[in-house]
């Protein structure tokens, strides 16, 4: 059943060109849209937000290293002066492949080519309590929520007289030993070691825990053994407690239950343990793999469905060295978008299509100030040079000269002063039901009062 606005999306330009509708303004969707600028296609980009967010730096927003605007770029600005492209802020609801129609919350539109690049969301693996009480980090708003929560916890902790009663507010637990979890843990440890003691001199940080929990046997499972061992060593150097081969059993908002270990008191559980592809109605179960990714052929066409293509985290293409599909990273999404843009041109000319082949350009992760690991196809290195490489690559990947400048200035200041200046507690009028109940029970009021 299709649930949507029964009217077409209003005020869309009417162009006598093949219509390419792209759902998702992430790395894949944005790259494809930019590749089709001023070309013989009508491009319509849809996203539930009106900005592109640079996800690799979300953890720096969450830890007050960067402002949210520095890693966000307005999608409409990209299409200034481009007559064949337009943007609509809308959430896709369902597809009717038989008539080539996409339904959204603001109306429907028909397409010649539909490109699904909706990315992925946090995967809690069915743990309802963890989903309810923990904090994910897949968007700018979630990163800002974490930043507010951290600062709010310390502002509350400083008003509590007994050290034992402050533990759950001060301890931080991160679940997931991939790049996001490792980078978060390193940044949190640096806040504890260098910044919070100056902000809150009345508090003792000796017993404050920063804990990283990974269910597998190694951190950074997709990287080399050198990167894994150095990342582990760097985290230990920063004072992070790393638990490997350890599963989180439950979380009630105050205590984390851990398999084979003592529970940890914390009101800050950051969940970075997995992702699951976003889904849209209208496709048969045979279009999906068991992990929720959509099955595509070597041209990123959804198998058995004409005119539909899937890119990035949302698609699964078993191929060569990747029998279980390509890694769900930005480079795969960007390269798939480039290949699809070439194939759309070739299709229009009646030429044969080019199969997608992933070129692994390497991977990297930063653990802290002057500490990072880099795996390139031809060379692996760690430490200060790796950190400088990480900074350069991420700075160049950010959209917009102004954003690059802001980030460069922020990073330069943070490096020289070892003290970020973005620790602002900006309260939202929205409060989670669990937190509202907790605030009322503990204090007799909520932060809306």
Instruction: For the chain, state the CA radius of gyration.
Output: 23
pLDDT in tens, 151-168: 999 999 999 988 888 989
By the 10 Å C-beta count (0-12 exposed, 13-18 middle, 19+ buried), 378 is classed as exposed
Contact 382, 376 (CB under 8 A): no
CA distance readout (Å), 197 to 161, 208, 210, 234, 419: 17, 11, 15, 21, 11
64, two tokens: 């007050």
Among the listed residues 78, 101, 75, 77, the one whose alpha carbon sits nearest the alpha carbon of residue 88: 75
DSSP category for residue 205: -
The pLDDT score that the predictor gives to residue 119 is 93
3-state secondary structure of 368: strand
Per-residue pLDDT of the chain (449 residues; tens, 9 = 90+): 555 568 999 999 989 999 999 999 999 999 999 999 989 999 999 999 999 999 999 999 999 888 888 899 999 998 898 999 999 999 999 999 999 999 999 999 999 999 999 999 999 999 999 999 999 999 999 999 999 999 999 999 999 988 888 989 999 999 999 999 999 999 999 999 988 998 899 988 887 899 999 999 999 999 999 999 999 999 999 999 999 999 999 999 999 999 999 999 999 999 999 899 999 999 999 999 989 999 999 999 999 999 999 999 999 999 888 888 999 999 999 999 999 999 999 999 999 999 999 999 999 999 988 999 999 999 999 999 999 999 999 888 888 777 788 788 777 777 666 666 566 676 655 555 555 445 444 444 344 33
Q: Which of 314, 418, 335, 328 is nearest to 370 (CA)?
A: 418
* 112-136 residues labelled b (16+ CB within 10 A) or e (exposed): ebbbbbbbbebbbeebeebeebbbb
CB neighbour burial string for 165-192, b if at least 16 within 10 angstroms, e if fewer: ebbbbbbbbbbbbbbbbbbbbbbbbbbb
Domains of the chain plus CATH, in order, are: 19-48+90-122+276-348 (3.50.50.60), 128-273+369-441 (3.50.50.100)
Coil, strand, or helix at residue 147?
helix
Q: Which two tokens stand for residue 92?
A: 């896709």
Cα distance between residue 76 and residue 130, in whole Å: 36
Within 10 Å of residue 56's Cβ, how many Cβ atoms? 21
What is d(CA 152, CA 92) in angstroms, rounded to the nearest whole number? 35
Contacts of 382 (CB under 8 A, 6+ apart): 226, 227, 230, 372, 373, 374
pLDDT tens digits, one per residue of 59-99: 999 998 888 888 999 999 988 989 999 999 999 999 999 99
Paired tokens of 316: 């699964």
Q: Is residue 10 packed enough to be buried (19+ CB in 10 Å), middle (13-18) or exposed (0-12)? A: exposed
DSSP string, 430-448: ---HHHHHHHHHHHSS-TT
pLDDT of residue 443: 43
Q: Render 58-95 in DSSP notation, one character per residue.
A: HHHHHTTSS-GGGGEEEHHHHTTT-TTEEEEE--EEEE
DSSP class of residue 39?
S
- Output the DSSP codes for 156-197: HHTT-S-HHHHHHHH-EEEE--SHHHHHHHHHHHHIIIIIHH
Residue the block writes with tokens 């044969």: 352
Does this model's pTM top 0.95? My answer is: no
């Amino acid at each position: 059943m299709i649930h949507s606005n029964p009217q077409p999306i209003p005020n869309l330009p009417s162009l006598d060109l093949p219509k390419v509708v792209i759902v998702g303004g992430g790395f894949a969707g944005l790259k494809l849209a930019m590749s089709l600028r001023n070309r013989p296609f009508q491009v319509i980009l849809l996203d539930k937000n009106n900005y592109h967010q640079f996800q690799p730096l979300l953890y720096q927003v969450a830890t007050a290293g960067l402002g949210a605007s520095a890693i966000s770029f307005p999608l409409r600005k990209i299409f200034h002066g481009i007559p064949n492209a337009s943007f609509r802020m809308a959430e896709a609801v369902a597809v009717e492949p038989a008539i080539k129609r996409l339904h959204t919350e603001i109306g429907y539109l028909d397409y010649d080519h539909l490109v699904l690049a909706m990315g992925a969301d946090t995967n809690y693996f069915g743990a309802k309590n963890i989903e309810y009480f923990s904090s994910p980090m897949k968007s700018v708003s979630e990163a800002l929520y974490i930043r507010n929560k951290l600062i709010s916890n310390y502002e509350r902790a400083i008003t509590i007289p007994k050290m034992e009663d402050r533990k759950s507010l001060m301890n931080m637990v991160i679940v997931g030993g991939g790049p996001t979890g490792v980078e978060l843990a390193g940044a949190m440890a640096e806040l504890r070691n260098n910044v919070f003691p100056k902000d809150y001199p009345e508090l003792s940080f000796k017993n404050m825990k920063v804990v990283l929990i990974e269910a597998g046997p190694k951190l950074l499972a997709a990287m080399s053994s050198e990167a894994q061992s150095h990342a582990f060593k760097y985290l230990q150097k920063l004072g992070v407690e790393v638990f490997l081969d350890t599963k989180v059993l439950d979380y009630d908002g105050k205590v984390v239950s851990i398999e084979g270990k003592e529970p940890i008191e914390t009101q800050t559980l950051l969940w970075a343990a997995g992702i699951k592809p976003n889904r849209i109605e209208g496709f048969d179960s045979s279009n999906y793999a068991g992990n929720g990714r959509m099955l595509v052929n070597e041209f990123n066409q959804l198998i058995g469905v004409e005119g539909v293509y899937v890119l990035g985290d949302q698609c699964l293409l078993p191929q060569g060295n990747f029998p279980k599909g390509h890694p769900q990273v930005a480079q795969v999404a960007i390269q798939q978008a480039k290949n699809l843009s070439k194939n759309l041109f070739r299709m229009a000319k009646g030429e044969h299509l080019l199969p997608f082949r992933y070129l692994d350009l390497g991977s990297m992760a930063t653990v802290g100030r002057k500490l990072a690991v880099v795996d390139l196809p031809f060379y692996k290195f760690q430490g200060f040079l790796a950190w400088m490489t990480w900074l350069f690559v991420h700075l160049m990947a950010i959209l917009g000269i102004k954003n690059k400048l802001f980030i460069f200035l922020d990073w330069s200041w943070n490096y020289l002063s070892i003290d970020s200046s973005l620790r602002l507690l900006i309260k939202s009028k929205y409060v989670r039901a669990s937190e509202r109940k907790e605030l009322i029970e503990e204090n007799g009021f909520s932060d809306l009062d």
